[in-house]
């Protein structure tokens, strides 16, 4: 079998690039600690170490699980669910008092009920998911605020600080919380690793998963539960309002760099760790800088950089590619124009009047001729452009390639040639094995000899050019 080696090498080189990126981000994250000590005069006291470690771990957990929220087009579900956690915190406090474990369990329960409600409503009524999420976000959050205000009005000092769950308060994080994040995060990762194939399948094509006997509803609820877990773990640090940022930012950023789910998840974890750690450290420069919002700001800086510069998808990349495409196509067009104009008039190095070229092609002519001139493929004399010997050679090679593609399209089946993706910008000889190219060359020459008497060999047979 003919393996398209170009594709394979391209793929493995992009693989290498991702691992480089992952390594580089990890390295920058590691170097950030001495950098902040030396230049930002950050003191790594116990509190900062705890908060930075907690932020980094939380970044990893929410980065990994957030990828699935992003891919399932449920980024805003994360927002609804984090808001839906607030009444749980309040109810748990009313029932059991100020115990962090119980508060988080309460948060998880109401948040999870929010997921269930959204699924129920979208599954049984005509209400769409965005409306259902809006209902949960507003209703649950309103209930939470109402309960908090009620609690704060009570003559009881222990409620102090409960409202930190709204905006988050990193300084409140102690070593026990970090251990909790690490432990729960590890359990989530084990579940994710075990059901990786199933989660991937329901995220890509739930219908097909159902037809193949997978319990789609169960898996979907399990995945949503993991996302709820990530949200609940982050409440103390980021608060119910900003938690969605931690959840989805690193996933969105990671998606720009890779086309593999596994790589995306790992990269998202590294981005999350970087944002969580660096955000906490930067906020330590001044006691007045809040940690949670700063982590989210760093995370979205990563998103901005990724949207701008990621190869293939980034904004800068897209603009550059568009520019280089325009130049390349203009040059190719003018090369062919000059070549055919000259050939049609009898000899390959016949000059074509500039006014004629500009009249026919406009701006393309100007750009294309500039490119070709820079390559030494055309020269100008007396207000006309002609191909240089190098230009004639390039043009005839390009022309030949174009005709081979046309023959390939028409006769690939008849000649039993391997199926390849049609891409006329590429040299067909690079994509097909030599014996197939030989068959194509032979076929093209046969057609040309049959269609045209030897004297007019340059003119193209209709069978090939007419599409």
Partner 1 sequence: MSVLSGNGPHDDANTALEIDDLTVAYNSKPAIWDIDLRVPEGVLMAVIGPNGAGKSTLIKAALKLIPRAAGTVQFYGQPYEHVRGLVGYVPQRGSVDWDFPTTVLDVVSMGLYGRLGWIRRPGQSERESALHALEQVGMQDFADRQISQLSGGQQQRTFLARALVQDARIYLMDEPFAAVDAVTERAIITIMRELRARGKTVVVVHHDLQTAPEYFDWVTLLNVEIVATGPIATTFTPENLRRTYGGRVAYLQEGQQIAGLEKE
Binding stretches for partner 1 (CB under 8 A): 1-4, 7-8, 11, 71, 73, 126, 194-198, 200-201, 203-205, 207-214, 255, 258-261, 263-264, 418-421
Task: State which residue, 255 or 448, has the beta carbon closest to partner 1.
Answer: 255
The order of strands in the sheet holding 352-353 is: 352-353, 384-387, 378-381
Task: State which residue, 182 or 261, has the beta carbon closest to partner 1.
Answer: 261
DSSP codes joined into one string, 211-278: HTT--HHHHHHHHHHHHHHHHHHHHHHHHHHHHHHHHHHHHHHHHHH-S-HHHHHHHHHHHHHHHHHH
Task: State which residue, 389 or 418, has the beta carbon closest to partner 1.
Answer: 418
Distance between CA atoms of residues 303 and 310, nearest Å:
10
Task: State which residue, 19 or 196, has the beta carbon closest to partner 1.
Answer: 196
The DSSP letter of residue 1 is: -
Task: State which residue, 67 or 86, has the beta carbon closest to partner 1.
Answer: 67
Per the listing, tokens 């300084």 go with 171
Supply 211's token pair.
Answer: 């037809």
Task: State which residue, 213 or 453, has the beta carbon closest to partner 1.
Answer: 213
The DSSP letter of residue 387 is: E
Count of C-beta atoms within a 10 Å radius of residue 408: 23
CB of 132 to partner 1, least distance (A): 17
Burial readout 272-295 (b: 16 or more C-beta within 10 A, e: otherwise): bbbbbbbbbbbbbeeeeebbbbbb
CB of 6 to partner 1, least distance (A): 10
Task: State which residue, 73 or 328, has the beta carbon closest to partner 1.
Answer: 73
CB of 296 to partner 1, least distance (A): 24
CB of 67 to partner 1, least distance (A): 9
Supply 263's token pair.
Answer: 């790589």
Supply 386's token pair.
Answer: 């002609």
CB of 147 to partner 1, least distance (A): 37
Distance between CA atoms of residues 175 and 154, nearest Å:
30
Residue whose C-alpha is closest to residue 85's, from 150, 131, 130, 148:
148
CB of 434 to partner 1, least distance (A): 17
Task: State which residue, 15 or 156, has the beta carbon closest to partner 1.
Answer: 15
H-run or E-run covering 384: strand 384-387
CB of 432 to partner 1, least distance (A): 11
Residue whose C-alpha is closest to residue 63's, from 209, 198, 180, 234:
234
Task: State which residue, 99 or 325, has the beta carbon closest to partner 1.
Answer: 325
CB of 53 to partner 1, least distance (A): 30
Q: Is 386 helix (H, G, I), strand (E, B) or coil?
A: strand
Task: State which residue, 63 or 277, has the beta carbon closest to partner 1.
Answer: 63
CB of 205 to partner 1, least distance (A): 5
CB of 206 to partner 1, least distance (A): 9
The contacts of residue 337 (CB under 8 Å, 6+ apart) are 352, 357, 360, 361, 365
CA angle 7, 11, 14 (to 5 degrees): 140
């Amino acid at each position: 079998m003919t393996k398209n080696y170009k594709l394979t090498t391209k793929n493995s080189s992009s693989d290498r690039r991702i691992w480089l990126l992952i390594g580089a981000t990890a390295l920058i994250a590691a170097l950030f600690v001495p950098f902040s000590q030396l230049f930002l005069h950050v003191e790594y006291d116990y509190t900062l170490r705890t908060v930075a470690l907690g932020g980094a771990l939380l970044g990893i957990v929410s980065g990994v699980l957030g990828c699935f929220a992003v891919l399932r087009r449920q980024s805003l579900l994360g927002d609804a669910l984090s808001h839906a956690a607030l009444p749980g915190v309040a109810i748990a406090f009313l029932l059991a008092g100020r115990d962090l474990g119980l508060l988080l369990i309460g948060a998880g329960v109401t948040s999870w009920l929010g997921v269930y409600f959204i699924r129920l409503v979208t599954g049984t009524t005509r209400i769409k998911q965005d409306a259902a999420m809006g209902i949960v976000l507003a209703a649950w959050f309103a209930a939470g605020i109402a309960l908090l205000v009620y609690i704060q009005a009570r003559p009881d000092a222990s409620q102090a600080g409960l409202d930190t769950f709204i905006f988050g308060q990193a300084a409140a994080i102690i070593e026990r919380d970090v251990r909790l994040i690490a432990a729960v995060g590890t359990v989530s990762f084990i579940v994710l690793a075990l059901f990786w194939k199933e989660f991937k399948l329901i995220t890509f094509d739930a219908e097909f998963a159902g037809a193949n006997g997978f319990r789609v509803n169960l898996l979907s609820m399990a995945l949503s539960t993991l996302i709820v877990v990530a949200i609940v773990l982050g409440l103390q640090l980021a608060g119910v309002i900003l938690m969605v940022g931690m959840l989805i930012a690193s996933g969105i950023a990671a998606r720009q760099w890779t086309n593999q789910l596994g790589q995306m998840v790992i990269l998202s974890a590294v981005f999350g760790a970087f944002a969580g750690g660096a955000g906490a450290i930067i906020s330590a420069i001044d006691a007045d800088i809040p940690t949670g919002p700063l982590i989210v700001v760093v995370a979205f800086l990563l998103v901005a950089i990724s949207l701008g510069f990621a190869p293939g998808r980034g904004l800068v990349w897209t603009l550059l590619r568009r520019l280089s495409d325009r130049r390349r196509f203009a040059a190719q067009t003018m090369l062919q124009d000059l070549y055919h104009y000259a050939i049609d008039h009898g000899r390959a190095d016949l000059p074509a009047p500039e006014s004629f070229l500009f009249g026919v092609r406009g701006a393309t002519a100007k750009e294309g001729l500039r490119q070709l001139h820079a390559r030494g493929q055309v020269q100008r004399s007396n207000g006309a452009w002609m191909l240089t010997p190098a230009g004639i050679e390039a043009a005839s090679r390009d022309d030949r390639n174009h005709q081979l593609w046309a023959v390939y399209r028409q006769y690939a089946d008849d000649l039993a040639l391997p199926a390849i993706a049609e891409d006329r910008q590429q040299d067909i000889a690079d994509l097909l094995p030599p014996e197939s190219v030989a068959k194509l060359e032979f076929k093209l020459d046969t057609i040309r000899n049959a269609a045209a008497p030897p004297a007019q060999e340059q003119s193209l047979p209709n069978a090939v050019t007419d599409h």
